[in-house]
Every structure is written in structure tokens, then in C-alpha cells.
Structure 1
């Protein structure tokens, strides 16, 4: 390996260093603490033959912490020196391009790597060590041998729903570099805006880069700001500048040009590319829309010309072509599409989607590149050389790997950073879902269903940041930090969920760095976390915090815990309807947000419940118990309190423990058509004394559910039974004229209560 004598100091200490784990993120594959310390000198003299771009980055990152001078005189102390083999000496082809080692002793710091990329990653580790130990003036002696587990360690940014300028995109790239991520997935086109200049098609940015207004607030409110948005886009010169900036940080930018769906912004500029005449306009709502690219020759010519310009700007091996959420409504009604299906002996419109992706892949391959797309590109058969980005869960990645295709794992349940990361009641408005730091950290990108040979096709892991509800860059920072740190360690392959608390402490140590950088990170890690558990007469409410739990104070009468509260000593028994408010205090001072949780207790609360079909992984927090935990779901926050089922009915059986009298049954379903969530189609209620033989006592249809707006409260007469079963029927396939038409509807259900 190339050997970099990075820093040499005449000052040293032979004192034994306590065996304290350094606060590095991602943690190295191998780190051995040794005796002694390296004393940080006040001035470092840089040897002039160090790799310039990487070393200049090092200088700028450390800033005023250490003074630098330049000199070619290697006899002076505090010299950064590089020792490399002559060019005629070949680099070991088996060595990993991102591998490096660092030896820190009282005499100096040495970095070894075969590549500039490995050297750059070593510098990231060294920067963190300098930042951690600058105040005490010495870095413990240690030996680090390190390399990543996964080749693709990515972060995505959607600039279509909301736009971020060149400087902000560069900051985003810097965040990735800090934590050793190496891929920036840049989502550049969508229904709500076209953000990349294409010189052959100027109307894409003249028309498609703006919209008349934007949806604001929760989707169910259906409210708009009435303000024109845009035109916002990146010129080709700006893109070249950003690509170069990323390359200097050894980060690959993978551009995404959406097709065949998510095309409204493009169709607003060039309506002749659609199946119908239009006119079209860039979407003002979020969601999925029926108007998509029509698979005709002029469309393919357009897309090939667009991709030509994109590939000249981005040297990445992969070009992301989207492929997700493409409704087939227009294709079903289009004579050209139907003729194309017959002509090519395609099975149906899903086969037409595959035909579309195959054609695009063949063209991209002809230019020496490869395509990657969301897992819907599996529909109708995967293109020969395509890679899959598995977002709807892990099944897309499993299917791809088993068929010999590469995959990047990015399941929404673990990797969607537009989800809430703390208590939704104390968080800014988010898209939905609940993905806290510990859940991100717990993710293993290699599905257990794959054997060792198939697992080789998992390229890595990526998190996605969709920006429907992220209007400025401060909010971008808030949503990615600190979750980006967990993703970093997952991608590096050193995450250890069993020792999450230790990781959490390292995260908190990194907050000092983010504070200096004035990054607006989420402090959810400091807030009270509540968990409902079976216990007592029904349920108990367990409160936890990352600090000393003795600092938790709470009330059970809904009053402010800053005024009059109890010291938390263990799970709080919930035997009646009430509101728990809690907060964390240090030295009598409030240190967290005040968390509030309302409980509605019924005869089912805390009872044993089973589901015949399990919810989607994205919306499964708490599992079946969520339906009897005493918490009524918030219709504006699809976080912790709802279970979501795509294309599945809910069949729930509750064991009341003994024969119990009741006359009322209630449950809620949700309607949010823009997110493909539809009210239940019907519902039936059954009772049983033995859990085997059930008798239906009530049935309601779509009209009654619709009139109640999903808040179902039913009088079932005087009943007395040990078991109660609810069957709540999913709406099925979404009908034409709705977002996501021809796809499976989502059914969201929260508390099932009996009184």
C-alpha cells in the first residue's frame, strides 16, 4: 500500500491512554488502542507532494484548529510527508479502493492507502479525531485498519417538490463526505418540476421548472399557498460545477430522470409526448398522477436526446431512470399503446412498462452506461442489465439478487428520512411514517432470504429524502441529522444494534461539530420516548430518555409538567382514559420538548390481539398491539399510531380474556387519496366464546363508512362474548381518475375499541 507519513511531531507522551472508545462515525472495522498519546502541535508544516485536493480539504475542515505552513523541507518537525511507490510499481489489484490504515503513536500519525479515495476517507477519520481531542490537545495512540462493507453508500435528495440552490447542494455533498457516504442520488425531474437544463428542449425549464402554487399543510387539508413557485433549475454549467465538487470529495452523483411516470412537468412543456392532448401543467399537489409518457417513437427520441445531455454532464456508471408509480390508466385507454401491446405480444400494460424500460436500457447500454430504477421496473420482467433500488420493502431487492441483478436496498421502513424521527406531536409536519434513529441503525441491508452467493448482488444501502414537506435547507438538515450518521455506520458495515446506546453517545458527541457548523439537526434524541406495553389492568406507559431517567417528570391530568409533576419511577399504569404529559429536566431546568399522549381506554385495551395478515413494513410500528394500545390515530400524522395494509384486508381477533358484556364497537379508517389511502369498502363484526366458531353480529357497507368519514362507531346491541373479530375490507384496486389508479389501495386502521 502507499504509505503517507502524515504528521510528525517531536513532542510526544508515553503516558498510558485509558481504553476509551473514540467517538468515530462510522466506527472502523478494526481499532486497537495503544499506550501513549500523540500531542497535537500548534503548527503543521505540510509537505508539498501530498495529494493536493484531498489535503486542501483537510486544511479547510480543520480551519482554525491547527495552523498550517507549506514546506518541502522534510527535516523540520510537524511535517506532513508522503511516501509512495514509483508509478512503475503496480497497485495490488485485490486491494479495495476505499481501504486505508492509520497508525497513531507518540511519534506521529501515518496513513496508508493504495488510492487517493482511501487517503481521503482516512482524512475523514483523522478530522473526527482532531475535532474530538482538540481541547485536551492529544489524540490517544491507536491502530486503525478500515474498509467499507458496501460499495454503494448513498443519500438521495429530491429537488423537484422543493428546490435547493447550488451552495445548498454542495453543503449536502459535504455532509455525505463527512460520514464516508460515497453516492449522491440527485432526483432532478418529477410531476412538480423539471430541474435540469436540457439545451435541445428549452421549454423543459422555461415551462416545466415552475408551478402555479404548492400544497401546504397536511395532505388531508387540501390547502394551497396560492404563490407561484419557480422557475427553479440548474444550468448545465452549475451541474458541471457540482459534479466536480463531488468528485473532489470522492462522491459519485447518480442523476435521476423519471420515466415513464412522474412526467407532468415534462408534459406541461411538450404535451405531444402524452397519450392525450392535454393541456398539462406541473403538479401543485403531491402524489401520483395518471398522465405519463406515451411509449411512442417521438417519446423515445425525446428521452434519448435528454439522456445524451445528461450522460455528458454526469460520468456515473449508473443513470437512474425512475420507473416507479406509473399508473396504467392512460395506456389502457390509448389506441397506440394497445396496438403496441398486440404488436409486441405483450401480456398487458405491465408488459408495456417492461418494454419501455428495456428500450431505455438498451440505449443507455449503447453509451457504455447502466440503468438503475425503483423496484417497479421489475413489472413485466426486468431489463437484462438493470439494477434495482428496492424501496417498497425488501422484496424487490430479493427478487433482483436471486435473478442475478444488482440491487441497492432503501426500504421505506428504515431509509425514508421524510418520515417522523420523534414524537409526531412535537415534530415539524412530515410525510408520515415513523423512522427514529434506532430503527435506521438496526437495519441490515442483506436480507436473510439470500444465500451467500446471492448476497453479493446487494451493492449497498441508501436513504431517501423526499421534500413535499421540506421547504428550506434548514429543514433538510433537520431531517437528515442525526439519522445520516446511523445510515453511515450501516453502510460501512460496523453497526451493532445490540450496543445502540454506545452509538447514541457517539452521535451526541458529534453534535458539537454540527453546532460549530451551525447545522439545524433534530434533537429528538433528547426528548422523552413513550412506549405502550401490556401490564397492570390493561396497559402501562413506559418513558425513556437518552440521559438519566431520573430527570423525567410527568403528569396524568393533562397539566404542564413544568408547573406541577411527579418524578418518573417506572411504567405508568393506564386504567382509565387520561392524558400523560412528560418532559426531561436537568438541575430543575427543562431540557426537552413537552410530550403529550392521550389515552382512550375501552374493554379491548391491552388485550391479546392477532392479525391474519400483517401490515406493510413501512407502517407496522407496534404491530397488532397498536390496535389495542388505547391511542386514537391522528389523521394528519401517519406516524406511530396507524397500521397500513396495501391491498390487504384487516382481520383482527381480540381475546377479551373472559366473557364480557358490550354494546358498542368503534374503529377508524383513513382517507388520503393522494397517498393511495382509501376508506374501507365494508366491515363485519363477529363474536365467539371459543375462538373457533364465530357469529356475525353486524355488517356495514361503503356508504355508511363514507358517511362517517371513516370514524366508525356501531351499536351492536347487548352482547356477551370472550372473543370479538373484525374484518375490515380493503378498497381493492384504485379506480381510474384517482392518484395511483390501477394499483392496490392502502387501508389504514387504528384503535379497535369496545364499550
Structure 2
């Protein structure tokens, strides 16, 4: 089927016979606009051949504005015809054909699933033309490029009711996503009833308090959380609700890591003999499932009940962020490594995943896991969900394993989507709407044959900083719309502004539904760009740019402030505030950007090693753009390097005098972020022969709390090289022990 999807997409390009696109998301593969219009009547006459359950969904969605009545085929406004079984390899079960004339709407599909997708297109057309009641005559031939178009929801860090989960599923259905990944177990809470093990929900579904605010604040609310979980009857209800909308629910039961809630209930499944409690902090913890027979029997019994509840082909078994500290210290684990001739603890993780996979396969199902399940060798029939970047998906596809692409840099909706200073607290990163829209799930490193193993794309919503469902809505909208078009295969980054217009048009539907969507695209956004003398600040908005007003003195802009015309030169330290005004009225949040300039600002910079994909916004230029990173927000002003040193060379252009070098780093051990081990400063006049002029160690960096200012004496050089040494492998006793530490660095300046 994947091959058919790819062939279809290559051969059938989006064709438009009108100058203006229809307001549809995701946009169809092939659209033909014809002469005339279908006039929407007050009563829609329905042909009796329409599939019943899906048609009831249509009535519910449009029933507030229209009435429906059954009729014969000839006088019906809406007529359905089931297509004969396809012999066309370019079409699949989700294919549909929609033809609208001045007299009638004809809808065709091979399956009820295709019909349901067709209804989403029809609903959007009705909503968009409910005022003028004139839908243009047209012909749409359509199907998605990717078989897996998913959204994930973490209900462990914060819990959401059955009704809220159903609303979430409705959002997926509206935009033709077909997979709901339900993250049901983690360190902070076990959310699914397992009848054989009642203590999982009696103990594991609650915690004594929760972390609040930025992680670096290390503060807690002091309020018990839970017990919160879903009964098996509630699970069945949600699964049926999703199935009625042709959405597959994929459950995730985390193993071998992220297991504290389970160990709190059944501590005998751990490597150490001590009591545990569900985690109150966010992050990664050393205590994981011990790979002993008792644990596997427990997990098999849990999976028996899970498989009985979820008919999905895939069962997600997590597999990510499993520290090896306890396994290294565990006599049983070390004996198991020797007995099975495993290379090390990573091999033990592979043994663990292989054993679980064999059991799941016996039940007629397959496993999927985060890309760490590649450690030590991938289980024979496993699929990979590639989150740390694209490499996991590439490795899986090249070894003929299916993969779902969900890299954090494009698909993590717990990241900021607008200026972090004007957004609610988020996990970190910067993933605005246009970045999501720009994603291509097929890595360029794959050839056509390997690309067949890319099942599709998914976005993830982790809820450490999302306390209620209104915030869930805020974080997924409008980014879910971009994801839907990426998954459908009709996104085109070159036409982003046109897509943005369709998004804004769709806001009226979300308003009607009382959805708390983010309005970040209305805000003025800023981009630092180099100029001959340093940097300039370029402002933009989704609205008419003539409405942008700004100030340079730190005061809030008004309708009478300076009108923006060209990028603003930043020749000295200053604060630029900007906002969008319409008819003299403020229409956006006020954006504020503080600049701290130095002799490195805007100069040429090169990095010997590039930052990790998730934290690479702006590339090396971020380190000399004049913006000091906020240590409480891992937004767009930081570069993150996992297991890598930062080696940056700055070309000042001419020999320049300076006596101070500064840079910023930070520490957040719960997220595996550690202070640098050391730093060295070098100078050169030819970019070949460098002389070290300063060196500091970890203690000095720690004492400075990451805000490093170094007196380097009177220097007069053209090149500055700075080497900031990564902490390396995280030591035992820390979250993520035995894994590569993260090093976060920002602004490198000279005065």
C-alpha cells in the first residue's frame, strides 16, 4: 500500500483550475473547478445509499445550520456510490472522488473510510459557504500520501477526561488524521486499569505533588494529584468512538524505562529493594524495570489486557530514555548479559525488546517504539518512531523496518510556537507553524525503495507544562493543521503564506467550537539578520506589514509609534518592542526583544560540530546575534549539543582590540543538561596558528552559574576561537546516567 501511495503522489500533482484555492485543510491532491455553483438548500435531501454511521456524523456536524431528509436517488442533493474494488495501483482504501454540479453532490469511495474522509472535505466546503450558500461546481480526486497520520497525547504528566480525549479525537478527524497515539503510562502516573494488577491504579495513578513553573525553579505545588485513570469500560468507549471516526488508537505502555509509577505499585519488579513513589518532577529516572522472569510475566499479563482492549495492529512499548545505571549495578542483569553473550547493557535493552516483541507477535500484533529501541539491534518485526531526529527513521528504513517520522525539531507540539516571552511556559524549543509546514517526512538520504518504509508522520504533545485541556487546544492549534497537510502530502513550503491564509480562514470554525487556539501568527515576529556593520532586526506579520509599529527605547508601541518599513539596524544595546495595529487598535501581543551587542555581534562564525536538530534554530549565527538566552526558557535563543563539544571560530573582520570574552551556558540535570567541563579561549591572526589565552574549569563555570565573563588581558586579534567542553557521559546518580550529556550554549561576546 505504501508503494501505491508514493506512486499516486508522484503521478498526481495538485491541479487547480481557478486562481484562488478552496479553503480546505488538508488541501486535496487534485482539484478541478468547473462553471456554476451548487446552491445549499435549507433541507438537504439524502440518498438512502449513504453509509449510515458516517452520515449521522455529517448531520451532527452541520445540523445547527441545516436540516436533512431522506429521499430517492434522482431528487437527492447528496448521492453516494461505492466504487468497485480498485485494480488501480495508484489508489488505496482512503481514495475518494467528490463531484459537485449545480444540481447535485456525488460522492464516491471504495470504503467507508474513504467516504468519511470525503465528508470532512464536504463539511469544510459547507462551513466556508454557509453565508453565500454557493459551493463552486468542482471535481476532487483525493487520497493521502502517508498511511500513518498521527497525533500523540500524554495523559501521565497531566490527565484529561474521557470527554476531553474524545474532543481530541474529533480534532484529528476534522483534519483527516487517522492515528491517535495514547501515552498511558510513565514515571508520573499509570493511567490504564489492569484488573490483574489493581495496585497499578490504586498506587500508581496518583502522586503527592507536581512540579510547577520552569524546571530550573525546582518548585512544587504541594497538592496531591490523582488518583486519575481510565477504567477498561472507558477505554472501550474511547476506542469505539475513535473507530466510528476511522481513527486507530495505538496504546503506549512504557518499558523498560519510565516505570516509576509501576514500580511504586510493584517494587519487586525493580533491580533494587526499596520503596518507590510516582515521580513528582519531570525528567528521566534511573529506576527501571529489571529484566527478570517475574517482570516479563507481569508485562505479558499487562499486555494481554491491553491487547484485548485495543484492536490496533501496533502496540507501542516505549523503549526510550532507559538509563542503564541500575542494570550495571544489578548482579542478575550482569549474569544475564554473560549468559546470553550480550555486549553490554545496550545489548540487554535489545534483549528486553526482542523478548517483548516475540510475545506481542504471538498475539498477532506488532510493536512500535521510540528510536532508542535500535540500541543493541532492532527486534525483527519492530517499527520505529523516530523522535530524536531523523536518523532513527533512516536507520530503520535502510534495514527494511517501517518507521513513523516524528522528529522533535518539527513535530513536538510542547515546544514554543511564538516568541517565548509572550507565550505560556513550554518545555522548550521553537516550532512555529511555518516550521511544521516545511517538514518532509521522507529523508533525502533514502532512495525510492527505502522510502517505502516510511509509514508516515506524527506530532507529539507531552504535557509536563500543560495543566488543562484549554492549554492542550492552545498547543495543537493551528499546528495540527500544518501536520495534516504534511501527512496528506500536499504541503508546499514555497506557498506557506497561502496556507497561512487558509488557516486564518479556518479560525472561524474553531471560534464556533470555542477552541482556545494560539494566535501567535497574528503577532509580530522578529528575525535577526546580518548587515555590513553587525545585525538588523527584521519584523514580519501574517497581516498587512504596514500595520507594524515599533519603539527602540523599551516603551510599549502605540498606533502613533514608528511605522516599520525596513529591517532595523542594531548598532548598540537596545530593546525593540513591536506590535500590529489596525485602524488605530492594538491587534496583537506586544513583542519585546533585548539586544546586547559586542564586538562579535553579526560577525562570521563557524562551528566544527553542528547542534542537535531539536535545538538548532538559527544555527551558528544564534551565538553572535546579540540576543542573550533566557536561562528559564529553552526557546529559540539557545543551541543544544548532545555529547558534543562546542568549538566556534569567530572572524572579526579586522584585527580588533578586546579584553573580555563572555558566553552563557546552563544546567538542568533533570533534562540531562550539564554545565560544561571546561572552556578555552584562543586567538589568531591567520585562522591557522592559534594561541590559548585563557582556560577555566568546571568549578569556575559552576560558580558563575553559567554566565561566564572572562578577563583575557589586552588582545588585538582578528580571530577568536572558543572551545566549550561537553560534560560527556552523565555519571551515576543523575537523571539519564550513562547517556550523553546535553550542553546548551548561547551568545559569545567580546568587549
Deviation for aligned residue 1:82: 3.5
Q: Is the 8 A contact 1:536 1:573 kept in 2?
A: no
Instruction: State how far apart, in whole Å, the 2-side matches of 1:243 and 1:157 are.
Output: 14
Q: Who is 2:271 aligned against?
A: 275
1:294-314: CA deviations, max 9, x gaps?
Answer: 000000000000000000000
Instruction: State how far apart, in whole Å, the 2-side matches of 1:92 and 1:691 are.
Output: 64
Where in structure 2 are the equivalents of 1:308-387 lying within 5 Å?
Answer: 308-387=304-383
Q: Who is 2:51 aligned against?
A: 51
Query: Is residue 2:726 matched to residue 1:730?
Result: yes
TM-score (norm: length of structure 2): 0.97
1:515-545: CA deviations, max 9, x gaps?
Answer: 0000000000100010000014211000000
1:448-499: CA deviations, max 9, x gaps?
Answer: 0000000000000000000000000000000000000000000000000001
Deviation for aligned residue 1:18: 6.5
Query: Is residue 2:402 matched to residue 1:406?
Result: yes
Instruction: State how far apart, in whole Å, the 2-side matches of 1:665 and 1:82 are.
Output: 71
Q: Is the 8 A contact 2:102 2:137 kept in 1?
A: yes
Where in structure 2 are the equivalents of 1:215-614 lying within 5 Å?
Answer: 215-562=211-558, 565-614=561-610
Instruction: State how far apart, in whole Å, the 2-side matches of 1:187 and 1:444 are.
Output: 25
Query: Is residue 2:632 matched to residue 1:636?
Result: yes
Q: Secondary structure at the match of 2:648?
A: strand
Instruction: State how far apart, in whole Å, the 1-side matches of 2:744 and 2:292 are.
Output: 38
1:187-214: CA deviations, max 9, x gaps?
Answer: 0000000000000000000000000000
Change (3 A) 1:137 1:696: same
Deviation for aligned residue 1:20: 2.3
Q: Secondary structure at the match of 1:65?
A: coil
Deviation for aligned residue 1:79: 4.2
Instruction: State how far apart, in whole Å, the 2-side matches of 1:532 and 1:63 are.
Output: 49
1:340-374: CA deviations, max 9, x gaps?
Answer: 00000000000000000000000000000000000
Query: Is residue 2:96 matched to residue 1:100?
Result: yes
Q: Who is 1:26 aligned against?
A: 26
Q: Is the 8 A contact 1:555 1:564 kept in 2?
A: no
Instruction: State how far apart, in whole Å, the 1-side matches of 2:87 and 2:162 are.
Output: 38
Deviation for aligned residue 1:45: 2.4
Instruction: State how far apart, in whole Å, the 2-side matches of 1:271 and 1:45 are.
Output: 62
Instruction: State how far apart, in whole Å, the 1-side matches of 2:113 and 2:330 are.
Output: 51
Deviation for aligned residue 1:92: 4.4
Q: Who is 2:182 aligned against?
A: 186
Instruction: State how far apart, in whole Å, the 2-side matches of 1:253 and 1:261 are.
Output: 22
Instruction: State how far apart, in whole Å, the 2-side matches of 1:188 and 1:395 are.
Output: 26
Instruction: State how far apart, in whole Å, the 1-side matches of 2:436 and 2:86 are.
Output: 36
Q: Secondary structure at the match of 1:119?
A: helix
Change (3 A) 1:563 1:67: closer
Instruction: State how far apart, in whole Å, the 2-side matches of 1:215 and 1:91 are.
Output: 54
Q: Who is 2:78 aligned against?
A: 80
Instruction: State how far apart, in whole Å, the 2-side matches of 1:582 and 1:481 are.
Output: 24
| Stretches of 4+ aligned residues off by more than 2 angstroms | 17-20, 45-49, 77-85, 89-95
Deviation for aligned residue 1:63: 2.0
Change (3 A) 1:577 1:82: closer
- In structure 1, the gaps of 5 or more residues are 1-16
Instruction: State how far apart, in whole Å, the 2-side matches of 1:588 and 1:93 are.
Output: 58
1:604-639: CA deviations, max 9, x gaps?
Answer: 000000000000111011100000000000011111
Deviation for aligned residue 1:93: 7.9
Change (3 A) 1:28 1:79: closer
Instruction: State how far apart, in whole Å, the 2-side matches of 1:466 and 1:166 are.
Output: 18
Q: Secondary structure at the match of 2:717?
A: strand
Q: Secondary structure at the match of 2:377?
A: coil
Q: Who is 2:692 aligned against?
A: 696
Deviation for aligned residue 1:19: 4.0
Change (3 A) 1:257 1:18: closer
Q: Who is 2:199 aligned against?
A: 203
Instruction: State how far apart, in whole Å, the 1-side matches of 2:174 and 2:616 are.
Output: 32
Instruction: State how far apart, in whole Å, the 1-side matches of 2:179 and 2:151 are.
Output: 6
Q: Secondary structure at the match of 1:157?
A: strand
| Residue in structure 2 matching 1:741, options 712, 737, 740 | 737
Q: Secondary structure at the match of 1:751?
A: strand
Deviation for aligned residue 1:277: 1.1
Q: Secondary structure at the match of 1:361?
A: helix
TM-score (norm: length of structure 1): 0.96
Change (3 A) 1:720 1:82: closer
Q: Is the 8 A contact 1:578 1:599 kept in 2?
A: yes
Q: Who is 2:651 aligned against?
A: 655
171-180 or 560-569: bigger deviation? 560-569
Q: CA RMSD in A?
A: 1.1
Deviation for aligned residue 1:112: 1.0
Q: Secondary structure at the match of 1:295?
A: coil
Q: Who is 1:36 aligned against?
A: 36
- In structure 2, the gaps of 5 or more residues are 1-16
1:274-317: CA deviations, max 9, x gaps?
Answer: 00012000000000000000000000000000000000000000
Q: Is the 8 A contact 1:19 1:33 kept in 2?
A: no
Q: Who is 1:70 aligned against?
A: 70
Q: Is the 8 A contact 2:97 2:107 kept in 1?
A: yes
| Residue in structure 2 matching 1:707, options 687, 703, 708 | 703
Instruction: State how far apart, in whole Å, the 1-side matches of 2:34 and 2:80 are.
Output: 24
Q: Secondary structure at the match of 2:64?
A: helix
Deviation for aligned residue 1:565: 1.7
Query: Is residue 2:158 matched to residue 1:162?
Result: yes
1:571-626: CA deviations, max 9, x gaps?
Answer: 00000000000000000000000000000010000000000000011101110000
1:488-513: CA deviations, max 9, x gaps?
Answer: 00000000000100000000010000
Q: Is the 8 A contact 1:182 1:251 kept in 2?
A: yes
Instruction: State how far apart, in whole Å, the 2-side matches of 1:93 and 1:487 are.
Output: 28
Deviation for aligned residue 1:711: 0.7
